[in-house]
């Protein structure tokens, strides 16, 4: 059995980690870390775990806790793991970090967009960006995985095949995304109160959202070029889900013609045909968040707009599963040589 510790277990992503790992046949959760609920029963924090989880929450004394486990999940705010991680901890346990601390390879870019000093830049180069469908082989040998952000997971997987195959002009790429309120975390914040969110939709982080450089960096690797794009997130009144809609001009071929619908679909099939968790929908079917809710699936599709010479790419995920906890478990499975889908065979919930 793989012994697991979760720091930040009482946030939404942490709670989802517990839900998924409770049904993982190869895992034993050894401790539930939470600064806010030390010595309180976990099931008193999340009543859905009544008579399922009997353990109490511990503090985040990493020196003591790392001795007891094989892998540590850190579902914590930016800066936490970077401030405490040491080589001796990595020699004792593997780490899957759900924050942005090790996602971006350039320290200056991280510090600019997140507004904090990076406390352990010596581990950035080693950290593997844990988008399994793209970096699977690197994840298998990793000690430290940077679990991708929710918006970034959806945006990158939606656009990746067309960027990788050079079918679009990345200089024209625009991504518009909508997220449910759980993406903002469990802490009380005025803009996320029911009366502020209900019957409302609003853009935020316009031209400044912190996931922008992460999307640019990863799509830049895919296209072997510098990517600079517009990314605009929106908050909508639902609990879970992200829908990303991306727009770009199609790149003309040598004969001056534009890629066809069949050629674009072939690109998606090339990269995702054998990916269990990425579902390329049938022609004319647009992704919906309801069709992936509670699951680790990503639904993607596209429409070619012949009138404008553009392609509209669409993707939907559950931000707490494939966008956070599910992807983290997927990474853990790869790191320990398990079946990649172990614990993740979650049928989407409906309605």
**Cβ atoms of residues 182 and 320 within 8 Å:** yes
- End-to-end, the C-alpha distance of the chain in Å comes to 35
Q: 266-306: per-residue pLDDT in tens? A: 999 999 999 999 999 999 999 999 999 999 999 999 999 99
Closest by CA to 341, choosing from 284, 276, 265, is 276
Mark residue 27 as left, alpha or beta (left: phi above 0; alpha: psi -120 to 50; beta: remaining). Answer: beta
Q: Give the residue numbers annotated as catalytic, written as ranges.
A: 150
Q: What is the pLDDT of residue 64?
A: 87
Could you read off the pLDDT of 22-80 as tens digits, one per residue? 999 999 999 999 999 999 999 999 999 999 999 999 998 899 889 999 999 999 999 99
For residues 187-193, give the mean pLDDT: 85
82-138 residue pLDDT tens: 999 999 999 999 999 999 999 999 999 999 999 999 999 999 999 999 999 999 999
The domain ranges of the chain are 2-126, 151-319
Q: 317: which 2 tokens?
A: 């995920």
Give me the mean pLDDT over the 170-185 stretch: 95
CATH superfamily of 151-319: Dihydrodipicolinate Reductase; domain 2 (3.30.360.10)
**How confident is the prediction for the chain on average, in pLDDT?**
97
Exposure class string for 257-282: b at 16+ Cβ within 10 A, else e = ebbeeeebbebbeebbeebebbbbbe
pTM above 0.85, yes or no: yes
pLDDT for the residue 308: 98
d(CA 92, CA 88): 7
CATH of segment(s) 2-126: 3.40.50.720
Query: Of all residues in the chain, what percent carry a pLDDT higher than 90?
Result: 95
Complete DSSP assignment for 244-310? EEEEEEBPP-TTSPPPPHHHHHHHHHHHHTT-TTEEEPPTTPPP-GGGTTTSS-EEEEEEEETTTTE
């Amino acid at each position: 059995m793989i012994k697991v510790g979760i720091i930040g277990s009482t946030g939404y992503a942490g709670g989802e980690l517990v839900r998924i790992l409770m049904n993982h046949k190869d895992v034993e959760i050894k401790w539930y870390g939470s600064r806010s609920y030390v010595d309180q029963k976990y099931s008193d924090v999340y009543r859905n775990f009544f008579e399922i989880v009997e353990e109490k929450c511990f503090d985040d004394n990493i020196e003591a806790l790392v001795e007891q486990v094989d892998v540590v999940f850190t579902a914590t705010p930016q800066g936490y793991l970077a401030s405490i991680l040491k080589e001796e901890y990595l020699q004792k346990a593997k780490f899957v970090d759900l924050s942005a601390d090790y996602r971006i390879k350039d320290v200056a870019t991280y510090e600019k967009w997140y507004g904090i000093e990076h406390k352990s830049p010596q581990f950035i180069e080693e950290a593997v960006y844990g988008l399994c469908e793209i970096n699977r082989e690197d994840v298998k040998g990793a000690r430290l995985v940077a679990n991708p952000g929710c918006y970034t997971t959806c945006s990158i997987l939606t656009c990746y095949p067309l960027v990788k195959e050079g079918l679009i002009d990345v200089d024209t790429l625009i991504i518009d995304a909508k997220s449910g309120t759980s993406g903002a975390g469990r802490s009380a914040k005025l803009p996320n109160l029911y009366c502020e969110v209900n019957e409302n939709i609003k853009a935020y982080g316009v031209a400044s959202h912190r996931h922008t450089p992460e999307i640019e960096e990863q799509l830049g690797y895919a296209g072997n070029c510098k990517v600079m794009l517009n990314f605009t997130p929106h908050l909508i009144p639902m609990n879970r889900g992200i829908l990303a809609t991306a727009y770009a001009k199609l790149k003309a071929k040598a004969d001056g013609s534009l890629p066809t619908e069949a050629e674009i679909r072939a690109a998606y099939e090339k990269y995702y045909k054998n990916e269990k968790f990425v579902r390329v929908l049938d022609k004319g079917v647009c992704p919906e968040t309801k069709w992936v809710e509670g699951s680790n699936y990503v639904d993607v599709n596209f429409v070619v707009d012949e009138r404008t010479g553009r392609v509209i790419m669409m993707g939907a995920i559950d931000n707490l599963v494939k966008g956070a906890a599910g992807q983290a478990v997927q990474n853990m499975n790869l790191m320990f040589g398990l079946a990649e889908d172990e614990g993740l065979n979650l049928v989407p919930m409906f309605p």
